[in-house]
Amino acid sequence: MQLSQKERMLLEDLQSHEQIVVQKCSEYAQQAQDPQLKQLFQNMVQHEQQHIKRLNQTLNQVYGQQQGGQAEQKDAMLCQDMLSSEKYLSSVYNTAIFEMQDTSIRQELNAIQSDKQKFGEEIYKYMQSKGMYQ
């Protein structure tokens, strides 16, 4: 199967999101007080790891092959999470702008959305410069 560059990027983006979910679920499992909730998060980790494995197979990659040490991997995970958050917030602002009647509020939301895009671009450029985003 031949993937286009865009398809590959989409699959790699999904893979990054799955890795973030695994990390969050692992951390939340440690923090949860209720044993049932703890077990739920632990089960989610297993399922999310299977998603990553399936994406890796699709991309012909071996899970866990990442460059750099643990500190670099942690920084990459932080960047990926924040970039995902900025992407999401930008899309939410976009919807709100289109559905807002008051022009001054639309302009204010547009300015905030522009900031979100700038922050996202800064994170993206940082990640690209550090080899975290190919």
Task: Find out whether 15 and 59 touch, Cβ atoms under 8 Å.
Answer: yes
The pTM for the full model equals 0.52
What is the C-alpha separation between 18 and 55, in angstroms, rounded? 9
Here the tokens at position 43 are 């089960």
Q: Which of the listed ranges 4-18, 63-77, 109-123 does the model predict with the highest average pLDDT?
A: 109-123
pLDDT tens-digit profile of 43-61? 989 988 998 888 888 776 4
Counts of helices then strands in the chain (DSSP H, E): 4, 0
Give the mean pLDDT of the chain. Answer: 83
Query: With 0-12 CB in 10 A as exposed, 13-18 as middle and 19+ as buried, what is 17?
Result: middle
